[in-house]
Amino acid sequence: MQRIAVLGATGAVGQEFVVSLNKHPWFELTQVASSARSAGKKYIYALRYPASGILKWHKPEPIPEYMQDMVISKIEDIDPEKFDLIFTALNSDDAQTIEPDFARSVPVISTAAAFRYENDVPILIPGINDEHIEILDIQKKNRNWNGFIAPLPNCTTTGLAITLKPIMDKYGVESVFMTSLQALSGAGRSPGVIALDIMDNVIPYIPKEEEKVQIETKKILGELNQTSIVPNNIKVSCTCMRVPVSDGHTESVFVETKESVDPHMIKKEMLKFSKNVSIKELPTAPKDYIIVHDDPTRPQPRIDREINDGMTTVVGRIRKDTVFENGIKYVLLSHNEKMGSAKGAVLLAELLKRKDII
């Protein structure tokens, strides 16, 4: 068993790490850390709001038993030498200073944005850009580290990049317009979105989100050269909105392809890609990487987000666009805390272990 620590274990993503690592066949979560607010408390008590005592836990699964009494450490009390791998679920400002301290000694898989845009850092989605993993070696050499920082993308980028990849490989992509309807849990818990602001409402702006999705999509779909990743030159434009849904980001996507293509061929390519995806057989890999619905009322977050335990990107409404000559449109749903962050990070760790990198 590989020894694992999670930093930021009390947050929205950290909680999902705790669930995803429960009874994992390869990884054992032996220590967790969070802010000074939580350090020294048993996990189950640290998850309660101090004033009301209300539990901060919105998952379909209960808090796993193995975690309830685990005492939360301070970050500085985590000895990296005791671990084979560290998962981080920290806000980006904290990750900026904390992650390098650990990566000097041990691999770090991160859900934060802090290092995503550096030249020697890949943004990894298992099954989409596995060849970019090679950059981790360059990062180690550049920085004289024993470990590395391997970030996942922003959770809104994940489903978009997953669905664009088969289209791009077969038909080429010129431009993409995407409008997202993003879940509340995507905003995290400190402080998160206040109920009074979001009930009966849609908030048409998420700070920094559109820029992140635009840059990350091009990097993930970019090409590896000797020392870095050359971003793909597809044009990406987004509008990101917050909606009153607990989990699961819905995205309305328009794609201008280089070649003319019928919608049914897009479905065929997505399903072919799903069938042959590289990460099959890993413990956390879903049975279906992508599902495509013909029913025009799907995907819906409440019905589709837990398919294959939140690891499947669910697509529907694939149709021809009438404005652009080579345009197609579709709707996708991706679970922001599962494939889009913690559970996707566990899948990445499994891929790195299978490649003997951790």
Ligand X SMILES: NC(=O)c1ccc[n+]([C@@H]2O[C@H](COP(=O)([O-])OP(=O)(O)OC[C@H]3O[C@@H](n4cnc5c(N)ncnc54)[C@H](OP(=O)(O)O)[C@@H]3O)[C@@H](O)[C@H]2O)c1
Active-site residue, from 238, 240, 249, 335: 249
Q: Minimal distance in Å, beta carbon 89 to ligand X? A: 4
Q: How far from 165 is each of 83, 182, 259, 349, CA to CA, in Å?
A: 34, 21, 15, 21
**Minimum distance of ligand X from residue 308's CB (angstroms):** 18
DSSP element (H, E) containing 230: strand 229-230
| Cβ proximity to ligand X, 112 vs 162, nearer residue | 112
Nearer to ligand X, 94 or 306 (CB): 94
**Contact yes or no for 278/130 (Cβ under 8 A):** yes
Determine contact, residues 172/258, Cβ cutoff 8 Å: yes
CB of 145 to ligand X, least distance (A): 21
The angle that helices 12-20 and 342-354 make with each other, rounded to 10 degrees, is 50
Long-range contact set of residues 117-120: C-beta below 8 Å, sequence gap at least 24: 117/215, 117/219, 119/227, 119/228, 119/229, 120/227, 120/228
Sequence-distant (6+) residues with CB within 8 A of 170 are 261, 265, 269
* Residues that bind ligand X in the complex, under the rule CB under 6 A: 8-14, 34-35, 37-38, 75, 89-92, 94, 111-112, 155, 185-186, 188-190, 336-337, 340-341
Q: Nearest residue to ligand X, using CB?
A: 11
- 15 or 257, CB closer to ligand X? 15
Nearest CA to 185 out of 299, 310, 68 is that of 310
User: Checking DSSP bridges between strand 27-34 and strand 327-334, what pairing results, if any?
Assistant: unpaired
Between 159 and 340, name the residue whose CB sits nearer to ligand X.
Answer: 340
Q: Is 249 a catalytic residue?
A: yes
Distance in Å, CB of 238 to ligand X, minimum: 16
* In the complex, least distance from residue 225 CB atom to ligand X, rounded to whole angstroms: 28
DSSP 8-state symbol, 259: S
**Per annotation, catalytic residue among 155, 238, 240, 335:** 155
- Smaller CB separation from ligand X, 91 or 214: 91
* Residue of 342, 299, 239, 255 lying closest to 16 (CA atoms): 342
Which are the catalytic amino acids?
Answer: 155, 249
